[in-house]
Structure 1
Amino acid sequence: MLTFIGLGLYDERSVTVEGREALRAADRVFAEFYTSKLVGTDVVDLEASHDIDIEVRPRESVERDPSTILDAAADGDVAFCTAGDTMISTTHTDLRLRAEERGIDTRVIHGVTAQSAASSLTGLQNYRFGKATTLPFPYAHGGGDVPESVIETIETNRERGLHTVVYLDIKVGTGPTGLDPDHEEYMTADTAAELLAEGWEDELAVVVARAGSPTAVVAADRLSALAGRDFGDPLHLLVIPGDLHHVESDALAGLAGAPDELLDE
């Protein structure tokens, strides 16, 4: 059996009760944290909290040669866990399909995602979100501006009146000079806002910082204004609103401090 477990958004307590029970019942527990991570804890605390041993796998191992995970799942109960939801944004459908092809039973235990949290914290209605996008560090795509694919996603959503979640780049194990096992870098919302204000338009945006934590922050303003603020520790994301229902406008004003003049535009 191979069980995919989403650990939630912040620390060792963010996993569901069902996920916690599956972790403790597993013969072996594997994890990856290269796409996202629990910034409120670390592997040592996760292991201590759930009384388990965790084998953290690098990206290449999971994507190109997951034989260790699959062999273990063929002979016993294996848990494979990630931050957030294990099948949303951090997608491991390929691993699940490989397991099914080998006759290994699989199941998914979901965790809270950054996108669902963004809707909940901002008051923007979840069914009014369009396609999400990721804003990379300039060095990661070989340019100093905002990639055209990011702009195209935002503008296509806005033409349909839809909101856009902009995930912010994470670099773990690789940096500006290439592979670096000690490198760990998280794009902050102020950096992202500055890039978008200069490379796209200076429009209304919403910062969501540390969703799921006791110190979550939600702030709405022009991108240029957000670029001048410090939103603290990661993880951060941006939301670019589309057309706003009056309840959504009220939510951005009351929950995120959006200026009235931006909501009236």
Structure 2
Amino acid sequence: MLTFVGLGLYDERSVTLAGRDAIRDADRVFAEFYTSRLVGTDLDSLESFHDTDIEVRDRAGIEQDPEPVLEAAESADVAFLTAGDTMVSTTHTDLRLRAEKRGIETRIVHGTTAQTAAGSLTGLQNYRFGKATTLPFEKAHGGDGVPDSVVATIEDNRTRDLHTLVYLDIKVDDPHWSDSDDTYMTADRAASLLSAAFPDLLAVVVARAGSPDPLVVADTLENLADRTFGGPLHLLVIPGDRHMIEEEALQAIATDD
């Protein structure tokens, strides 16, 4: 049995009770933290909270060499942990399909996602979000500024009056980068990049979703570029036309007018 467990958004306590039970009952526990991280905790705290050893795999260890995970799941109960919801990344879908082809039973225990949290924290209606996009660090995509695909996604959503969730890049397990204070793209950096294409556009920063002190700030991209928003993780939402209730929610919830 291979059980995929989403750990939620922030720390070791963000996991659901069902997820905690699955980890407790597993014979072996694997995890990856290159697609996202729980910034409110660390590996030692996770292991202590769940009273188990966690074998962390890097990108190559999941995408190119998943054999240790699959072999373990053929003869034992294995839990595979990720931040957020475990099936948001295609990497995890690929691992599940590999398991199914080998006759390994799979199960999913969901966790809270950044997308649902962004809608909840901002008051923007979940069913009015269009296609999401990721804004990479410039060197990560080999060019300057914002990739055309990101601009096209925002423009296409706006023509249909839909909101755009912009995930911000994380430099984790990437051969182009070493760990540094610059591991996480900040919302002000993202706003600065996007303001070249959309200078007067309203955007909403969501910082530290799932933590005890989330922050929501609405302003133009140009103004957001000159602000700081504290520790990671950060998201940007580019709203389309707002329903009256959405407008009232932003005015009440966001810290700026």
TM tier relative to shorter chain: over 0.9
Distance 2:144 2:75 in 1: 49
2:60 match: secondary structure? helix
Aligned CA-pair RMSD: 1.3
1:91-106 aligned within 5 A:
91-106=91-106
* One-letter identity of the residue aligned with 1:233: G
Unaligned runs of 5+ in 2: none
Partner of 1:262: none
Partner of 1:220: 218
1:138-177 aligned within 5 A:
138-174=138-174
Partner deviation per Cα, 1:8-42 (whole Å, 9 max, x = no partner): 00000000000001001100000000010000000
Unaligned runs of 5+ in 1: 260-265
Following superposition, which runs of at least 4 residues in structure 1 exceed 4 angstroms of deviation?
Answer: none
Partner deviation per Cα, 1:81-116 (whole Å, 9 max, x = no partner): 100000014651110011001000000000000000
* One-letter identity of the residue aligned with 1:146: V
Q: Is the 8 A contact 1:130 1:164 kept in 2?
A: yes
* One-letter identity of the residue aligned with 2:34: Y
* One-letter identity of the residue aligned with 1:44: D
CA change 1:160–1:91 in 2 (3 A) is farther
Which of 241, 244, 250 is the equivalent residue of 1:243?
Answer: 241
1:167 match: secondary structure? strand
Q: Is the 8 A contact 1:146 1:200 kept in 2?
A: no
Give the count of matched residue pairs.
Answer: 256
TM-score of the superposed pair, with normalisation by structure 2:
0.97
Distance 1:17 1:168 in 2: 29
Please report how far the alpha carbon of residue 132 of structure 1 lies from its aligned counterpart in structure 2 after TM superposition.
0.1
1:170-249 aligned within 5 A:
170-174=170-174, 178=176, 180=178, 182-183=179-180, 185-249=183-247
1:30 match: secondary structure? strand
Distance 1:91 1:173 in 2: 14
1:10-21 aligned within 5 A:
10-21=10-21
Identity %: 68
Distance 2:90 2:109 in 1: 14
Partner of 1:59: 59
Which has more strand, going by share of residues? 1
Distance 2:241 2:91 in 1: 29
After TM superposition, the structure 1 stretch with the greater mean CA deviation from structure 2, 85-94 or 158-167, is: 85-94
Partner deviation per Cα, 1:32-73 (whole Å, 9 max, x = no partner): 000100000001000001101000000011011100000000
CA change 1:122–1:179 in 2 (3 A) is closer
* One-letter identity of the residue aligned with 1:256: A
CA change 1:144–1:202 in 2 (3 A) is farther
2:226 match: secondary structure? coil
Distance 2:101 2:177 in 1: 33
Partner deviation per Cα, 1:116-158 (whole Å, 9 max, x = no partner): 0000000000000000000000111122211100000000000
Distance 2:58 2:82 in 1: 12
2:12 match: secondary structure? coil
Distance 2:127 2:256 in 1: 21
* One-letter identity of the residue aligned with 2:192: E
Distance 1:226 1:179 in 2: 26
Please report how far the alpha carbon of residue 257 of structure 1 lies from its aligned counterpart in structure 2 after TM superposition.
3.7
TM-score of the superposed pair, with normalisation by structure 1:
0.94
Q: Is the 8 A contact 2:15 2:111 kept in 1?
A: yes
